[in-house]
Amino acid sequence: MTQEEFKSEVRRIRPELMAQARRYLGEEEAEDTVQDVLLRLWQMVGELHRPLAPLALRLVRNFSIDRLRRQRPAVPLVEMEEGSPQDNTDLLDEMMRLVATLPDMQQVVLRLRHMEGMRMSEIALLTGSTETALRKALSRARKALLQKLRNSDNR
């Protein structure tokens, strides 16, 4: 697709993209999301073909869902479990001890993602790794942590 074809296609589908983003996010966030999608598509302009609308709508939906997930309030670890404050502190200490037993890369990804609240793209830039590799490391870290937690409960 040429740049001129892209521009005309975007002019045609932009209202539809905005409408879908508004359904998820509201006016201000919708505008940002559509801009992010169009920027991503612009970076791929040489590889794109008509019709552009299905791909663009899918990207708007995915970007909107990502924004909603990031807005979800995080509950501090201490508030997750009911019980005495000492029990919560003990649970937190146990979790941190188990995290420290993971391989270095898994520790880094787990801490940056869950404790610092960073996005995968930010972690990828920071570590010099790919997002796919980081997602795999995070998944493995979660599974290993769950297994270690189950094993420590059985003792």
Phi, psi of 32 (to 5 degrees): -65, -40
Q: Is pTM beyond 0.95 here?
A: no
Check residue 98 and give its pLDDT: 87
Q: Is the dihedral of CA 61, 67, 68, 70 positive or negative?
A: positive
Check residue 20 and give its pLDDT: 93
Asked if residue 33 has pLDDT above 70, the reply is: yes
Those residues with Cβ within 8 angstroms of residue 107's Cβ, 6 or more apart along the chain or in another chain: 99, 100, 141
pLDDT by residue (tens digit) across 49-108? 888 999 999 999 999 988 888 876 555 544 554 555 556 677 778 888 888 898 888 888
Those residues with Cβ within 8 angstroms of residue 52's Cβ, 6 or more apart along the chain or in another chain: 1, 6, 9, 10, 13, 41
